[in-house]
């Protein structure tokens, strides 16, 4: 029996008073198979719906953020998706 979740929230970052940094949720796939996230949605606190074709590879992660275009993401080499409304 495999009790590992297919996708988990691995990290949450709020910027406090440093508004220059993006806030984010990091989703991770701890499993051995890719997970199709097409249509997954976050609706509590922030609003985001992932588009068709978004896949999270095994042992990989991606980020949901309020500022997807921030230079912070340049070094991460991960997929980044921006939410549309926030109340973190």
What is the pLDDT at residue 36? 95
pLDDT value of position 27: 96
pLDDT at residue 86, as a whole number: 66
> What does the pLDDT look like over 1-31, one tens digit per residue?
565 678 999 999 998 887 788 999 999 999 9
Q: How far apart are CA 81 and CA 35, in angstroms?
A: 16
Distance separating the N- and C-terminal Cα atoms of the chain: 35
The 10s digit of each residue's pLDDT in 48-84 is 999 999 999 999 999 999 999 999 999 888 999 999 8
Rounded distance between C-alpha atoms, residue 66 and residue 57, angstroms: 23
Phi/psi-derived region of residue 75, left when phi > 0, alpha when psi is between -120 and 50, beta in every other case: alpha
- Where in the chain are the domains? 8-86
- 63 closest CA partner among 33, 21, 31, 16: 21
């Amino acid at each position: 029996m495999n009790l590992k979740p297919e996708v988990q929230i691995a990290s949450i970052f709020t910027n406090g008073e440093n508004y220059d940094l993006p806030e984010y949720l990091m989703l991770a796939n701890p499993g051995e198979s890719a997970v199709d996230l097409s249509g997954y949605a976050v609706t509590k606190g922030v609003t985001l719906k992932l588009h068709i074709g978004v896949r999270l590879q095994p042992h990989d992660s991606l980020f949901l953020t309020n500022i997807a275009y921030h230079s912070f993401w340049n070094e991460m080499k991960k997929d980044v998706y921006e939410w549309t409304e926030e109340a973190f």
